[in-house]
Amino acid sequence: MINKKPYVISGIAKETPDVTLFRFRAQDGSTLSFDPGMFIMLHYRNPQTGEEIGRAFSLASRPDDTELEFAISMIHGKFTSKLDDAKIGDVYFVTGPYGQFKYTPAENKKVLFVAGGTGLAPFLSMLRLIGEKKYDTDVELIYSIRHPEEIIRKQELEDYKKSMHFNYVVSVTRQETDEDMRWQGEHGHIDAQMIERHVLDAAERTCYICGPLKFTKAIEAALISLGVDKKNIKADVWGE
């Protein structure tokens, strides 16, 4: 049986209309060892029935952080509806870390991150590590969201532009609100032309994609059409 470790909620912060940042601290004070890009299984245990439900969440925090941070889309599904009522001090259970979607600083000096919505989470962990350790990694990020107010950790991304070899582009996919129309950045789904407009040397980079299956497939095809070798593309697929 897998040993599920108790973690206590230490922070809850609404980041965007749909995304909340949750912080968890291990009840025994230990630090989880992981590579940026990996995920854990977070389990909720019903205190009355003992029944459990678990879901995968990418670690957004830095590997040496004493707390784990997650950026969670509050879609009011089976698991996320438990988090709707979560309070500081509540206990959840963690297994992991898991996954092969890893950023390895020594091997990946030039990278391209492509995020769909909350798919930014593993890239936050990678950027936080690069920033903290002052690695000379050349990072380009292309980030797709529906509306401008959905940008997660906007100020943090802006700060990295000043302190690291980092650039990012946000594409807004919807044209529904005045704010959508006023958006000065890119509009529409990310495609090969959009990538090429901002990243001329994609073929020289290790490319990481994170988001739903349709998104990761479309981006992978776009990158291949730009000459990126399939072996230099890593994808973290979150669902259909």
Instruction: Name the residues that contact ligand FAD, by CB under 6 A.
Output: 39, 55-58, 70-73, 75, 77-80, 118, 121, 236, 238-240
Q: Which is nearer to ligand FAD, 190 or 202 (CB)?
A: 190
Q: Which is nearer to ligand FAD, 38 or 226 (CB)?
A: 38
Q: What are phi and psi for residue 92, nearest 5 degrees? A: -120, 175
Shortest distance, CB of residue 74 to ligand FAD, whole angstroms?
Answer: 8
Shortest distance, CB of residue 82 to ligand FAD, whole angstroms?
Answer: 8
Cβ atoms of 34 and 57 within 8 Å: the answer is no
- How far, in Å, CA of 220 to CA of 117, rounded? 17
Shortest distance, CB of residue 23 to ligand FAD, whole angstroms?
Answer: 13
Shortest distance, CB of residue 18 to ligand FAD, whole angstroms?
Answer: 8
Residue with tokens 């797709």: 144
Q: Which is nearer to ligand FAD, 72 or 126 (CB)?
A: 72
* Run of H or E residues at 161: helix 154-163
Cβ atoms of 185 and 171 within 8 Å: the answer is yes
Shortest distance, CB of residue 37 to ligand FAD, whole angstroms?
Answer: 10
Q: Which is nearer to ligand FAD, 10 or 167 (CB)?
A: 10
- How far, in Å, CA of 70 to CA of 57, rounded? 7
Cβ atoms of 73 and 19 within 8 Å: the answer is yes
Q: Which is nearer to ligand FAD, 56 or 203 (CB)?
A: 56
